């Protein structure tokens, strides 16, 4: 207060005229300024409230228009799905008449006609998600089962609209509408009707709703991650659509990956990923419907402030933000403020004029008053001692020189003898190698001839097993023939493996392998064998192994199983250990050391030299008769092909250690290994009775093979089931019969005179009237390259010889799409070997079948387990179900315990 008084007191320093003029101006301007400020605040608040209401109404109207667009499309699909034509077509799609297909396609084209600009296609999908009919024909046959618009429509049965999704084919954004098609009689969902819209339709909808809240007002469409789906006006003069699919603010990398995984973001990142609108992004992310208004800037360069409001879509997880520049929004109050300022200025000038005049008038009466033996010992035999005297020292020197000369002469003689012996040994070795290679090449080349007689033996054993034999003894005899033939086949394969290695014809086929899973499968097999013997099996690794490596997994498994099986066989107490460790690891190469250590009987020193010789047995004499003596020789030779060598350390009576080192490429595109049931062979899973025929008309099959017994095996397996078989001895005759008889399927050998199988397949695929035939290649060749060449050359399936009946039936069924007929046999009580459990009255197979299955279980071959069960009668289905379930999980020990309780 004192300061105010002092200010007023200081006026005394000015002239009275100035004092009067100042007081008069203050009296005029203070009320005028206060009224102008109050008027500005009230008017600004009213304008902002009115603008917010306009923006809110515009945002809501735009959101409702989007919802209406969605509802109209969903309603049209709901109405269309009531068409009986769609129901009938989905029921009979595979056999639908052309008229029905045309009628269904006409309806789809009618739906397309409602929007010829943005509606891309309308399609009818079956229950498996396959595109059956589509107005855009390139999409017919496409699998859409993994898309959300198919899955949700199938699960809920309700209309569904997707988010904006990017196509994997053209990278363009689309919007999908879908609704399930139901069978009116059963109410079951039998398909899905789907329409595909270009997401550009949303951009046009947004552009149609500009200026709803006044000039320069526009909407922006955002999804639930604040990604722009459509953009209205831009203040920087650019095209609005250029901002589509940009985030308001930079997102987390995980968010981008998540959206790309759901096809909601372009697969290739755009140049401009996001704008730097952090304030806008935070408000949209934390949007509160009770407080829908906000302010933001849309360009860092322009720095223009916008007022906005957000409305939510009632159908989709979309947000409509409606914005208008605050400068445009507050333009009326700015005009009023300018007018008020002009009025205030005029008033002030007038007041000053009046005041000045009055002051002059008032102050007129008072105006006049303001970084040498050592040489021989070192090998220099030419050194010579000097002889300087004839005394004892001289004699010693002469004796030393004589000894050196004699040693030099002896070494020269010995070297000459060694060279002579080396030449003789090399000649003998070359002769032996030549004879050995000739033998090996002979064995490798007669693989076809060795396996062909077995094809007849095993084939007719299977044919007789499908025949009703009068006595159990005869059935047992056939079983023994088949079992013995199978064992003989495995021995022949071992011998052929060895011969192919020696003849340098064994091919390694490296492929990406998941190393930990591969090793675990080997461990599980050997753990079962070790537990059967009552010894411990230990698997250890002291360093992290690479995830994926490139290796021939079949041959590496053969090596490890041979070494581990030998250790388990010769170990009666203690343990067998498999150790795998990393010696060196880089980004592209891994050096691994494999060790197999046991506490068995050990190997005598004199036996070490012949350990890896073919057909040699070492170790316990009681166990030498087991096996062919080829396991270790084959393993050593395969390791050599892989670039390593098996080394052995052993102490008799203490145990042995086998080890080898391999350098393997590190890969990323490995496939997880799984040793369980791989169900491609339908015959494995049949617990039914014997096949006696098939449904439908008679099918004919052309069998081409130069050996009559091979043709007879296939014919005698197929003809009892109702097939008509046609036989040809070579490819030329087969090609002629193919044109004359026009069979349903061709089964051909590869090695034939006149025209072989490869040339035959080439002719068939090149002929316009024959190229549609399905061809099954049947060969006794076990070389993977021959099998792959046959399939690459045009074969559809490969059937190995000796022919397995179940495999043959499965291939024929797949190629001809057959439904088998099975013999219905009444359950009898006369079988002495069958019994029912007292607990649940479950029928148990004969003891012989259980013993055979147990032998397969000991080999830990889950595929062979399923194959064996597939040959059982359907009466044992209840008994087989738990075994198959355990096999799927590779629980070998549990299967063994399950079988043992019935054998005990």
Rounded Cα distance between 707 and 711, Å, is 7
Thinking of the domain 81-198, which architecture would CATH place it in?
Answer: 2-Layer Sandwich (3.30)
Lowest pLDDT segment from 193-197, 217-221, 277-281, 645-649: 277-281
φ, ψ (nearest 5 deg) of residue 109: -65, -35
Beginning with the edge strand found earlier in the chain, give each strand of the sheet holding 745-748 in spatial order.
724-728, 700-704, 745-748, 775-779, 797-800
Would you state the pLDDT for residue 673? 43
Per-residue confidence (pLDDT) for residue 827, from 0 to 100: 44
Q: Which is nearest to 851 in space by CA: 896, 806, 805, 804?
A: 896
Please tell me the distance from the alpha carbon of residue 766 to that of residue 540, in angstroms, as a whole number: 56
The confidence score (pLDDT) of residue 484 equals 64
What is the structure's pLDDT at 114? 87
- Assess whether pLDDT exceeds 80 at residue 260: yes
The rounded distance, in Å, linking the Cα atoms of 796 and 815 is 9
pLDDT in tens, 90-148: 888 777 788 888 999 999 999 998 888 899 999 999 999 999 999 998 999 999 999 99
pLDDT for the residue 868: 80
CA–CA separation, 500 vs 445, rounded Å? 9
360-408 pLDDT, tens digit each: 766 655 555 445 777 777 777 677 766 666 766 667 677 767 777 777 7
Tell me: the pLDDT tens digits for 688-720? 457 889 999 999 999 999 988 889 999 999 999
Mean predicted confidence (pLDDT) in 453-477: 69
pLDDT of residue 680: 36
Kindly report, residue by residue over 288-336, the tens digit of the pLDDT. 888 888 888 887 777 788 889 999 999 888 999 999 888 887 777 667 6
Selected residue with higher pLDDT from 338 and 298: 298
What's the rounded Cα separation, in Å, for the pair 213 and 322?
Answer: 8
Whether the per-residue pLDDT at 11 is higher than 60: the answer is: no
Is 249 in contact with 154 (CB distance < 8 Å)? Answer: no
Residue in 829, 755, 32 with CA at minimum distance from that of residue 351 = 32
pLDDT of residue 424: 85
Residue 676: pLDDT above 50? no
pLDDT at 491 over 70: no
| pLDDT at res. 684 | 38
Burial 210-246 (b: 16+ CB within 10 A, else e): bebbbebbbbbbbbebbbbbbbbbbbeeeebbebbbb
Query: In the prediction, which pLDDT does 36 show?
Result: 64
User: Is the pLDDT confidence value at 572 over 60?
Assistant: yes
Measured between alpha carbons, how far is 610 from 653 in angstroms, rounded to an integer? 19
The per-residue pLDDT for 834 is: 44
One of 3.30.565.10, 3.40.640.10, 3.40.50.10470, 3.90.660.10 is the CATH number of 511-665, namely 3.30.565.10
pLDDT of residue 625: 42
What single string gives the DSSP state of each residue in 277-288?
-HHHHHHHHT-B
d(CA 364, CA 22): 17
* Residue 164 pLDDT grade (very low, low, confident, very high; cuts 50, 70, 90): very high
Cis peptide before 802 (omega within 30 of 0): yes
For residues 356-394, one letter each, b for 16 or more C-beta atoms within 10 angstroms of the residue's C-beta and e for the rest, the string is beebeebbeeeeeeeeeeeebeeeeeebebeeeeeeeee
pLDDT of residue 854: 85
Q: What is the pLDDT of residues 741-794, one digit of tens each?
A: 999 999 999 888 999 999 999 999 999 889 899 999 998 775 666 677 878 888
Q: How many CB atoms lie within 10 A of CB 184?
A: 10
pLDDT in tens, 64-76: 999 999 999 999 9
pLDDT at residue 851, rounded to an integer: 83
Domain ranges of the chain: 81-198, 372-432, 511-665, 688-822, 835-903
Name the residue with higher pLDDT: 193 or 270: 193
- Per DSSP, the three-state class of 576 is strand
pLDDT of residue 829: 39
pLDDT at 784: 65
The lowest-confidence range among 182-191, 484-493, 805-814, 893-902 is: 484-493
Predicted confidence at residue 691, as pLDDT, reads 82
What average pLDDT does this structure show over 634-648? 90
Query: What 3-state class would DSSP assign to 193?
Result: strand
**For residue 679, pLDDT beyond 80:** no
- Percent of the chain with pLDDT strictly greater than 90: 26
Q: Assign domain 688-822 one CATH number from 2.60.120.10, 3.40.50.2300, 3.20.20.70, 2.40.40.20.
A: 3.40.50.2300
The dihedral region occupied by 730, where left means phi > 0, alpha psi between -120 and 50, and beta the remainder, is beta
For residue 197, the cross-strand partners are 119, 175
At residue 785, the pLDDT reads 65
**How far is residue 591 from each of residues 546, 581, 583, 644, measured CA to CA in Å?**
10, 9, 5, 11
Q: Which of 24-28, 174-178, 622-626 has the highest mean pLDDT?
A: 174-178
Enumerate residues 6+ apart whose C-beta is below 8 A from 790: 750, 757, 758, 761, 777, 779, 798
- Mean of the pLDDT values across residues 243-264? 86
Q: What percent of the chain has pLDDT over 70?
A: 77
Does position 248 have pLDDT exceeding 80, yes or no?
yes
Report pLDDT for 833. 43
Which pLDDT score is estimated for 848? Answer: 81
- Residue 724 in this model has a pLDDT that exceeds 70: yes
**Which of the pair, 423 or 399, is modelled with greater confidence?**
423
Long-range contacts of 404-407 (CB under 8 A, 24+ apart): 404/376, 407/381
The rounded mean pLDDT for the chain is 80
643-663: per-residue pLDDT in tens?
999 999 988 888 999 999 999
Q: Between 151 and 477, where is the model more confident? A: 151
């Amino acid at each position: 207060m004192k300061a105010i008084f002092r200010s007023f007191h200081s006026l005394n320093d000015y002239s009275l005229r100035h004092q009067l003029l100042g007081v008069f101006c203050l009296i005029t301007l203070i009320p005028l300024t206060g009224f102008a400020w109050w008027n500005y605040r009230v008017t600004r608040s009213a304008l902002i409230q009115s603008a917010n209401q306009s923006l809110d109404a515009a945002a809501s109207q735009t959101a409702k228009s989007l919802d209406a667009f969605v509802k109209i499309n969903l309603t049209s699909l709901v109405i269309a799905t009531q068409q009986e034509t769609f129901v009938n077509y989905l029921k009979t799609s595979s056999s639908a008449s052309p008229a029905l297909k045309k009628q269904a396609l006409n309806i789809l084209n009618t739906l397309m006609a409602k929007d010829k600009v943005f509606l891309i296609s309308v399609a009818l999908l079956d229950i498996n998600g396959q595109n059956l009919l589509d107005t855009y024909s390139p999409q017919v046959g496409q699998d859409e089962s993994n898309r959300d618009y198919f899955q949700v429509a199938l699960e809920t049965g309700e209309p569904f609209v997707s988010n904006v999704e990017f196509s994997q084919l053209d990278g363009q954004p689309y919007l999908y509408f879908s609704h399930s098609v139901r069978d009116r009689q059963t109410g079951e969902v039998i398909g899905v009707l789907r329409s595909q819209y270009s997401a550009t339709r949303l951009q046009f909808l947004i552009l149609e709703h500009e200026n709803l809240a006044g000039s320069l007002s526009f909407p922006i469409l955002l999804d639930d991650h604040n990604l722009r789906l459509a953009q209205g006006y831009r203040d920087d003069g650019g095209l609005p659509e250029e901002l589509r699919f940009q985030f308001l603010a930079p997102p987390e990398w995980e968010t981008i990956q998540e959206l790309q995984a759901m096809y909601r973001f372009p697969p290739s990142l755009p140049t401009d990923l996001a704008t730097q609108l952090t304030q806008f992004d935070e408000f949209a992310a934390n949007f509160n419907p009770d407080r829908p208004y906000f302010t933001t800037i849309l360009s860092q360069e322009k720095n223009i402030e916008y007022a906005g409001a957000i409305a939510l879509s009632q159908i989709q997880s979309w947000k409509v933000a409606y914005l208008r520049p605050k400068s445009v929004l507050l333009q009326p109050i700015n005009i009023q403020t300018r007018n008020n300022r002009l009025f205030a200025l005029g008033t002030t000038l007038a007041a000053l004029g009046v005041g000045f005049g009055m002051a002059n008038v008032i102050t007129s009466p008072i105006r006049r008053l303001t970084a040498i033996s050592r040489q021989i010992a070192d090998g220099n035999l030419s050194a010579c001692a000097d002889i300087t005297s004839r005394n004892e020292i001289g004699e010693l020197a002469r004796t030393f020189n004589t000894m050196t000369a004699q040693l030099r002469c002896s070494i020269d003689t010995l070297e000459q003898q060694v060279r002579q012996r080396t030449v003789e040994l090399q000649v003998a070795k070359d002769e032996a190698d030549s004879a050995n290679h000739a033998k090996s090449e002979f064995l490798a080349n007669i693989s076809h001839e060795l396996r062909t007689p077995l094809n007849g033996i095993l084939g007719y054993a299977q044919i007789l097993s499908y025949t009703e034999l009068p006595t159990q003894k005869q059935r047992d005899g056939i079983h023994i023939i088949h079992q013995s033939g199978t064992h003989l086949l495995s021995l022949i394969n071992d011998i052929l493996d060895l011969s192919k290695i020696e003849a340098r014809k064994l091919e390694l086929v490296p492929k990406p392998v998941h190393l930990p899973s591969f090793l675990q499968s080997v461990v599980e097999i050997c753990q079962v064998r070790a537990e059967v013997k009552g010894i411990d099996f230990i698997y250890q690794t002291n360093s992290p192994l690479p995830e994926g490596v490139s290796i021939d997994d079949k041959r590496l498994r053969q090596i490890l199983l041979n070494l581990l099986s030998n250790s388990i066989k010769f170990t009666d107490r203690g343990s067998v250990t498999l150790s795998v460790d990393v010696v060196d690891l880089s980004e592209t190469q891994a050096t691994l050391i494999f060790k197999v250590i046991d506490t068995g009987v050990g190997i005598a020193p004199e036996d070490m030299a012949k350990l890896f010789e073919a057909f040699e047995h070492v170790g316990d004499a009681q166990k030498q008769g087991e096996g062919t003596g080829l396991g270790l020789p084959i393993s050593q030779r395969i390791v050599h092909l892989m670039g390593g060598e098996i080394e052995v350390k052993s102490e008799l009576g203490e145990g042995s250690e086998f080890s080898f080192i391999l350098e393997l490429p590190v890969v990323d595109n490995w496939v997880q290994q799984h040793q369980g049931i791989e169900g491609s062979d339908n015959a494995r899973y049949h617990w039914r009775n014997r096949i006696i025929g098939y449904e439908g008309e008679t099918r004919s099959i052309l069998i081409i093979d130069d050996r009559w017994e091979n043709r007879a095996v296939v014919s005698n397996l197929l003809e009892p089931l109702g097939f008509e078989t046609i036989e040809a001895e070579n490819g030329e005759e087969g090609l002629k019969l193919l044109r004359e008889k026009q069979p349903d399927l061709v089964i051909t050998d590869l090695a034939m005179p006149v025209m072989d199988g490869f040339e035959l397949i080439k002719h068939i695929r090149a002929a316009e009237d024959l190229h549609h035939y399905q061809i099954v290649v049947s060969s006794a060749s076990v070389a993977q390259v021959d099998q792959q060449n046959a399939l690459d050359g045009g074969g559809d399936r490969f059937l190995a010889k000796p022919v397995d009946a179940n495999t043959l039936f499965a291939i024929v069924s797949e190629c001809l799409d057959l439904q088998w007929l099975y013999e219905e046999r009444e359950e009898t009580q006369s079988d002495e070997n069958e019994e029912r459990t007292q607990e649940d009255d479950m029928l148990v197979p004969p003891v012989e079948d259980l013993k055979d299955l147990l032998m397969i279980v000991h080999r830990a071959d889950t595929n062979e387990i399923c194959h064996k069960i597939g040959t059982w009668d359907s009466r044992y289905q209840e008994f087989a179900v738990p075994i198959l379930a355990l096999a799927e999980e590779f629980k070998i020990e549990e299967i063994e315990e399950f079988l043992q309780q019935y054998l005990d």
